[in-house]
């Protein structure tokens, strides 16, 4: 009976996904040589991460002290002004991502990167749990050479120490144009905590951050 309950729980979790499965088409992913320049308020910096469904990553980073703004959106594809429906087909090349504006005097890019890797599986190619497709790929979009080096060095450490028992497949790419997602995706978790995806997938991630990174939370 206990074994059956566990099996049902696993099947339930895999049935709950952020969106339907998209096609995997690596050719549609953009390959910028240099990060796109963007205006940022003086004294603040920007980090952009793709780690599966952006409902999850947005909720995580909103918890952290020093984070001024988190926006869910699309990046890394070749289609201009993509919609959620288009990105969900996997044919635009974009990743669901969160763009984080933060105060580096309160939280560093390296600390954000550590939490990013601690709250998703960077060893599954184009997949996070039941969410499958290139739009759910693990990817760091760097905005300068320092972010690039920090990310590449961190991935080397993870692989050298065999942290996950499997190689990290996270892409490291120059940040291309970021398209902010539709309004109903912004602050999604806070407005939809009672929904199945939020309670089964996002809440455990939030609990993990609150437990392991309590010193980095907003007061």
Alpha-carbon Rg for the chain in angstroms: 17
Q: What is the DSSP string of 60-99?
A: HHTTBTTEEEEEEEEES-SSSS--HHHHHTT-S--EEEEE
Residues 6+ apart with CB under 8 A from 199: 193
- Report the distance separating Cα 17 and Cα 20, nearest Å: 7
- Of 18, 53, 56, 198, which is the active-site residue? 53
- Is 53 annotated as catalytic? yes
Give Cα separations from 119 to 16, 22, 74 (angstroms).
18, 22, 20
**Phi and psi torsions of 124, nearest 5°:** -100, 120
Residues labelled catalytic: 53
């Amino acid at each position: 009976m206990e074994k059956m309950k566990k099996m049902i729980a696993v099947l339930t979790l895999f049935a709950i996904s952020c969106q339907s499965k998209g096609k995997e088409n690596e050719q549609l992913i953009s390959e910028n040589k240099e990060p796109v320049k963007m205006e940022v308020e003086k004294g603040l910096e920007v980090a952009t991460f793709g780690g599966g469904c952006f409902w999850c990553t947005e909720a995580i980073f909103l918890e952290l002290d020093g984070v001024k703004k988190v926006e869910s959106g699309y990046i890394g594809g070749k289609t201009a002004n993509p919609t959620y429906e288009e990105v969900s087909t996997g044919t635009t090349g974009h990743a669901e991502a969160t763009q984080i504006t933060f105060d580096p005097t309160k939280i560093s890019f390296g600390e954000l990167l550590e939490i990013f890797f601690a709250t998703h599986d960077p060893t599954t190619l184009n997949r996070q749990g039941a969410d499958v497709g290139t739009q759910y790929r693990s990817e760091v979009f760097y905005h300068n050479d320092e972010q690039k080096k920090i990310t590449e060095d961190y991935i080397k450490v993870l692989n050298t120490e065999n942290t996950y028992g499997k190689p990290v497949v996270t892409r490291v790419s120059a940040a291309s144009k970021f398209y902010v997602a539709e309004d109903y995706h912004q602050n999604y978790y806070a407005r939809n905590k009672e929904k199945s995806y939020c309670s089964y997938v996002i809440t455990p991630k939030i609990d993990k951050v609150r437990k392991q990174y309590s010193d980095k939370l907003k007061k």
